[in-house]
Amino acid sequence: MDSYEIVILGAGISGLSTAAFLNKQGKETLILEKRDKVGGVLSSKEIDGFTFDFSANSTVEKYESFQKLIQWAELEDQLLIANKNASKKYLYRDQEIHALDGPLSYIFTKLLSFKSKCRVLKEPFISPRKEKEDETMKDFVTRRFGQEFLDYTLNPLVAGVYAGDPKDLSMQAAYPEMAAMETEHGSVIKGSYHTIKAKRKAYKNGAFKPSKNIMSLQKGMNQLPKRIAKKLSPQLILKSKVTKIEKVESGYIITYTKDDKDYLVKAKKLISTLPAYKLSKLLSTMSPSLSKELDNIFYPPVATLNLGYHKEQIGRKLDSFGFLVPEKARLKYLGALWSSTIFDHRAPKDHASFTLFLGGSRNQEILQNDLRKWVNETIKEFSEIMMIDGEPKTKCFKLRERAIPQYNLGYMDFKKELDLFHLANPNFIISGNFVGGNSVSDCINNAEKIAKSLS
Ligand SMILES: Cc1cc2nc3c(=O)[nH]c(=O)nc-3n(C[C@H](O)[C@H](O)[C@H](O)COP(=O)(O)OP(=O)(O)OC[C@H]3O[C@@H](n4cnc5c(N)ncnc54)[C@H](O)[C@@H]3O)c2cc1C
């Protein structure tokens, strides 16, 4: 049996970037990946001259770790930064899309009624909640900002981030900074003011100031995991499905299946970046309580619909990141990114491309429906908003039955179990997009933290 210092399970962006940061520290790893390709949910393809992404189209540069990884991967010349007009976002209400471009735009927007705007301005004067227990985002936002603000602002925004539903999402797990603003400053608006002030002071004292740029790569988001894998290739075994993990005195024995044969490897340190529901099965004997909590993490279905048109077909001015749709609108999709407006090189000359997201927590019934009909209705609804004439020149549809982990109410119970597991198993690190944030930037930042903890 081969023996390794560190074995990483899963070659999505979490697993690969952990291996990359460890490699930067001079540490060798072995990565085991079930599929015949890397990137996990990150996948991109060039079709008819369009570059389509089938999950993340971009990520926001929130941490220093993103640039460090890009440098290690020698991809600086491949980076794309979103065009200026991508800072403008639209939210849908009453058959129209309403622009939001910075906090002041909330004052003038027709997205919210005068009554709702007054209700939002009352927020600093609303007493903080006394109970310490977690609550849903729906309860938090209605309590502090009112129902209309929840329905037409936060509801579509969380659909854009988590494909989630505010009535299920946990405030402490999904939006801990916002929850803390109420506890520490008595109000979100007051808390935001203090946070901005504290950050400005920290930046003056030399703390890293995130660019908050929206980033991608010339060939789509999958270019990043592909390049990392190329640089690490001898340490990566594809088509190897992990089927068993056993704890032994000096580490862990991992069984994986490749070409119908079972193999064993020994790891002194083990890092799992497998989806929660996959890891749950592997931990059913070692830790039944954590296994149960992992299984409780809900992953709704999410589909991407990539559309390519000739610009002459589109009546609406392409001047934004795209728009998000509130649940109340009852449309067939969650929102649309204006992909070729955000980044150059996404569509052939005189063409435009869009990525629409379907499904999510609010539309789980997509799984039981006639998908062809669902897609056609989506295109019809989208064409009306965008004033599009005719059919798309190119379209591509991809459905993931279990797509994005939800940081729902009850997540803090999982977190407690996870902390207990890590105390009992200091050489078995559980990571991935269901721990510490689900954006690509979060996954990369967590990877760097893990590598540092092993240095
Ligand atoms: C539709 C969609 C849109 C998104 N949009 C954005 C966005 O705009 N911006 C953003 O920043 N993020 C976005 N995200 C989130 C982000 O893309 C993901 O959270 C992130 O890529 C997850 O990476 P991961 O490595 O943690 O997990 P995964 O990508 O799920 O990787 C896990 C890996 O483990 C492997 N595996 C599973 N079982 C086994 C086994 N038994 N043995 C071996 N290997 C196994 C899988 O094959 C996979 O490669 C989006 C996600 C989705 C689905």
Domains of the chain in sequence order: 2-41+60-73+218-298+406-453 (3.50.50.60), 113-204 (1.10.3110.10), 300-400 (3.90.660.20)
> In this predicted structure, what is the pLDDT of residue 71?
97
pLDDT of residue 100: 86
Mean pLDDT, the chain, whole residue set = 96
Report residue 83's pLDDT band, with 50, 70 and 90 as the boundaries.
Answer: very high
Question: Would you state the pLDDT for residue 306?
Answer: 98
Q: Which residues of 31-65 are buried (b: 16+ CB within 10 A; e: fewer)?
A: bbbbeeebbbbbbbeeeeebbbbbbbbbbbbbbeb
217: Cα separation from own chain's centroid: 17
**What pLDDT is stored for residue 101 in this prediction?**
79
Nearest CA to ligand 1 atom 29: 40
Distance from C-alpha of 76 to C-alpha of 218, rounded to nearest angstrom: 11
Residue from 333, 433, 441, 442 whose mutation best tests the ligand 1 pocket (most atoms within 8 A of CB): 433
Contacts of 256 (CB under 8 A, 6+ apart): 32, 237, 240, 241, 242, 243, 262, 263, 265
Predicted confidence at residue 18, as pLDDT, reads 98
pLDDT at residue 108 in the model? 86
- Band (pLDDT 50/70/90 cuts) for residue 105 is confident
pLDDT 10s digits, 240-294: 999 999 999 999 999 999 999 999 999 999 999 999 999 999 999 999 999 999 9
Atom of ligand 1 nearest to the CA of 15: 25
CA 10 to centroid of ligand 1, rounded, Å: 9
- Distance of CA 334 from the midpoint of ligand 1 (Å): 19
* pLDDT band for position 110 (cuts 50, 70, 90): very high
> Is residue 408 pLDDT above 90, yes or no?
yes
Q: Does 335 sit in the ligand 1 pocket, CB within 6 Å?
A: no
Q: Is 58's C-beta closer than 6 angstroms to any atom of ligand 1?
A: yes
Q: Answer whether 10 contacts ligand 1 (Cβ < 6 A).
A: yes
Taking CA atoms, 155 is separated from 72, 129, 411, in Å, by 38, 21, 20
Does 102 score more than 80 pLDDT?
Answer: no
Query: Poorest-confidence range of 64-78, 80-94, 381-395?
Result: 80-94
β-strands 2-9, 214-217: how paired? unpaired
Does ligand 1 lie within 6 Å of residue 273's CB atom? Answer: yes
What atom in ligand 1 is closest to the CA of residue 16? 25
pLDDT at residue 227, rounded to an integer: 98
Closest-CA residue, ligand 1 atom 19, reads 438
Residue 183 has pLDDT above 80, yes or no: yes
The band of 333, judged by pLDDT with boundaries at 50, 70 and 90, is: very high
Average pLDDT of 400-426?
97
Packed helices 411-424 and 288-296: angle between N→C axes, nearest 10 degrees:
150
For the chain, give the number of residues.
Answer: 455
Average pLDDT (206-220) is 92
The amino acid at residue 91 is L
Nearest residue (CA) to ligand 1, atom 10: 439
Q: Does residue 103 surpass a pLDDT of 80?
A: no
What percent of the chain has pLDDT above 70?
100
Q: Rounded to two decimals, what is the model's pTM?
A: 0.95
Q: What is the mean pLDDT of residues 60-72?
A: 95
Radius of gyration of the chain (CA): 23
Whether 438 is in the pocket of ligand 1, judged by its Cβ within 6 Å, is yes
Residue with tokens 């709702």: 116
Q: In the numeric block, which tokens belong to residue 373?
A: 């009909």
- Establish whether residue 43 lines the binding site of ligand 1, counting it when its CB lies within 6 angstroms of any ligand atom: no
Q: What is the pLDDT of residue 310?
A: 98
Q: Whose CA is nearest to atom 48 of ligand 1?
A: 40
Report whether residue 274 contacts ligand 1, using a CB cutoff of 6 Å: yes
CA atoms 144, 150, 152, 157: torsion sign: positive
